[in-house]
Structure 1
């Protein structure tokens, strides 16, 4: 008779514990193939459990094929493999994110100044005034109210006359890259800026698009190299390039548009970081001077609100909009409905522009404080700073005999995380050496003395 200590079942239901014990005996050979199991009533009396407990255990074993029934004879053990059960190796413990004493590599924003109370109030309004709308499907290209609010914002602050129908909402820039790779096709040869944001090459490359790094000159993407590349599309950031900070002047912009027109090509204008310009008027977008429908404009709210705000959008020219409708309009929108409803109100009621205005003042001040501190530092005589009065980063070139790898190791040993221009280059060049990409937005004034002291130790020559 099968004997099991039912007191050892822990929190398991009786029938599940019994099922597991009989299954284990079948797998390890204690119960042989063809062996008859005790009747339900006999086993129930022996184990002092109910008949229904045994019946449920037998039923589960039969459902999984461990036992079978013979009419009027009972349950019998099935023929199963007797190979020992191999437990999978224990997963490695989760890696703990390193806590840096100073992180100048990560793109950080000052989320402490975001109007959380306003955002919370808008959430409550959406839930109470139009809660049922959150249960309805969102159109594939995004909530109409949000697309309208974005179109209005682009018209009022960037001089772009676009229809809400041209706007596609998606969960951040990387998701939009995936859509564009499919929209343009795998046969596309995509020119990308070199140096440039590495993730652009990585995402397009994983989608099967061949990326062709094109070097930059003092005005942006080099025209001769672009023409020689054989590219049929180009991805660039003409208003504030990351990481060099270059701004493409009007003459080069017009030449790029002419290249696209002549080659029947498209330009993806990645308008990264352009909202934070601290002197003069905002730089007009390439899309706003495009008369031939050759520019795909894209932007996100990751820098202006928070990196956790995974909301981006792209504006498709008419020809590509029709192609998108035919080929990709089956994709569901990847941004949650609540977030879209709240962001639409945040934009339409002027809260977004007010927040941007406050942050421009804050980052302008913070940038000046950081630059002043660096220029008055012990290493001031060994650095040169390249900055365009815009964006949340700048370049710092260091006069040193150490390689970038040596500087990185020394910095990490001191708990300092640095980003180097050479990391952004597809084709290494000596000109990129010893140049740091300083992301300063997360560096508050009270931390500047510690930051300068740590950098002085990193930059110190033996």
Structure 2
């Protein structure tokens, strides 16, 4: 039976959401069963209908229920200890990375993924935290080498933040501070460096991560991505040391791995003695539902290596990321890295710890959500006004990028070239595929932050002309 405590500090919709999850996982609400109508439940609990609807939308986003026209919200099948029968995948021989391209001249409008709008950086609050960090260093008895894992104050604040906002279970001893996400992957790659080592990852997926494991001579296995995240069928009998996934916002498709698939994936990892690398690179930036809880929060066996970064929320140039190792891997880490010093300057670590402790980081995230939600809405409105259904969009509602499928006879290269001549820069997605021929014909990756929303309509009108889609 559902009830809410109106004297509690927990928002009412979160109480409803949590109660329904307990009902679903306990079997009180079985697969296919319909949730109470929002109006009826609102009346029973004496809450607003919007409160119930918000709880239902969060359950939908996480895959617990699905909306069905004319039937309301139906409970999905959630596996409870179901074994998987998996068949063997095939490895691929990987060519060496290509040389870096020449530096491109600036474009009038650059849809680069990963770049950030300088105007949204919280300079005043960050400057105060930097001064506080300098003062703390000045008052110290001596200047020493940094703590090998990272500054204790920062590791503590990261743990507190992750427990509050991502449901991650950890303590500071499990947290390692790294100099960006690729450095984090270097650390992980070194820990699993042994004969026959292999690494599987989503296809398409971030080529910067793939490059790290290629350079460490891992056998790479690409695993296809479906509309709801990584394909479990493609994992049948695959034996690999590591599997890299972005379950809360798949890069680049934006797919969310639902609760049922998360449970099956965790079970698969336990049965195959595989560690999952969960890259939670921009999970805070969801615009219409709460952030999806981390997969690590569902893991009872300690098979998930959780990683995060401040590149998408603060600045990519800051080079600050972190790893949360499961307890069984900590001894392996300490044995390998016992004589390594932290690669991130203590000043930056202490400043970030101060910034987080003061509540400025979470205030900044809330501000980013508002700014990027408005920017994404403006872009999608302009795109729909000019192109209608001739451009299909993936990944809306979250993050700082979109994946476009342009319904045009022009190839991806031709679309990019024509836009470039008009001063509008797009980027190829071929590098996100191990086999570039698997890349869709007219797919484009579009980063949001640095292009002003006032320019979106003008840009779309120009693209319609140069792409000959009048």
Q: TM-score range by the shorter chain?
A: 0.7 to 0.9
Shift of 1:386: 2.5
Q: Give runs of aligned pairs for residues 120-269 of structure 1, distance below 5 A.
A: 120-133=127-140, 135-186=143-194, 187-269=196-278
Instruction: Check if 1:455 corresponds to 2:460.
Output: no
1:282-301 equivalences under 5 Å are 282-301=291-310
Q: Distance in 1 between matches of 2:204 and 2:279?
A: 15
Matched-pair contact (CA < 8 Å) for 1:183–1:328? no
Q: 1:323 to 1:361 in 2, by over 3 A?
A: same
Any residues of structure 2 matched to 1:49-448 within 5 Å, and which? 97-133=104-140, 135-186=143-194, 187-377=196-386, 379-428=387-436, 432-448=440-456
C-alpha distance in 1 between matches for 2:332 and 2:306: 16
Aligned length: 368
**2-side partners of 1:461 and 1:385: how far apart?**
17
CA contact (8 A) 1:422 1:433 kept: no
TM-aligned CA deviation for residue 97 of structure 1: 4.3
- Following superposition, the deviation at residue 411 of structure 1 comes to 2.4
2:422 and 2:462 in contact (8 A); partners too:
yes
SS of the aligned residue for 1:395 comes to strand
TM-score, L = length of structure 1: 0.76
Q: 1: CA distance between counterparts of 2:396 and 2:301? A: 30
Residues 342-363 of structure 1, C-alpha deviation per residue, up to 9 Å, x if partnerless? 0000011100000000110111
Query: 3-state SS of the aligned residue for 1:333?
Result: coil
Distance in 1 (alpha carbons) for counterparts of 2:102 and 2:376: 34
The separation in 1 between residues aligned to 2:340 and 2:298, in whole angstroms, is 30
Write the distance in 2 (CA, Å) between the matches of 1:337 and 1:209.
32
1:387-409 superposed Cα distances (whole Å, 9 cap, x missing partner):
34111112221111111122222
Per the TM alignment, residue 380 of structure 1 is displaced from its structure 2 partner at its CA by 3.0
**Distance in 2 (alpha carbons) for counterparts of 1:430 and 1:165:** 42
Is the 8 Å Cα contact of residues 103 and 418 (structure 1) preserved in structure 2? Answer: yes
Q: Could you tell me how far 1:312 is from its partner in structure 2? A: 0.3
Q: Deviations over 1:125-183 (max 9, x none)?
A: 22234325482221111000000010010111111220100000010001111111001
Displacement of 1:461 in angstroms is 5.1
How many Å separate the matches in 2 of 1:130 and 1:421? 45
**Closer, same or farther: CA 402–177 of 1 in aligned 2, 3 Å:** same
User: What is the rounded CA distance, in whole Å, between the counterparts of 2:358 and 2:171 in structure 1?
Assistant: 19
Larger radius of gyration: 1
CA distance in 1, matches of 2:351, 2:394: 38
Partner SS state of residue 243, structure 1 = coil
Q: Classify 1:427/1:344 alpha carbon distance in 2 versus 1 (closer, same or farther; 3 Å).
A: same
Q: Structure 1 414/253 Cα, relative in aligned 2: closer, same or farther at 3 Å?
A: same
Q: Give the distance between the partners of 2:279 and 2:342, measured in 1 at CA.
A: 20
The aligned counterpart of 1:24 is: none
Residue segments in structure 1 that go unaligned for 5+ positions in a row: 1-93
Contact 1:104 1:438 survives alignment (8 Å): yes
Q: Given the superposition, is the C-alpha separation of residues 166 and 448 from structure 1 closer, same or farther in structure 2, using an over 3 Å criterion?
A: same
Give SS of 2:187's match.
helix
Q: How many Å separate the matches in 2 of 1:196 and 1:96?
A: 24
| Long gaps (5+) in structure 2 | 1-100
The 3 A distance-change label for structure 1 pair 461 and 453 is closer
Specify the SS of the correspondent of 1:385.
strand
Distance in 2 separating the partners of 1:99 and 1:109: 15
2:393–2:404 CA contact under 8 A, matched in 1 = yes
Range moving further from structure 2, 296-305 or 397-406 = 397-406
Measure how far apart 1:445 and its partner are: 1.9
Preserved contact between residue 384 and residue 397 of structure 1 (Cα < 8 Å): yes
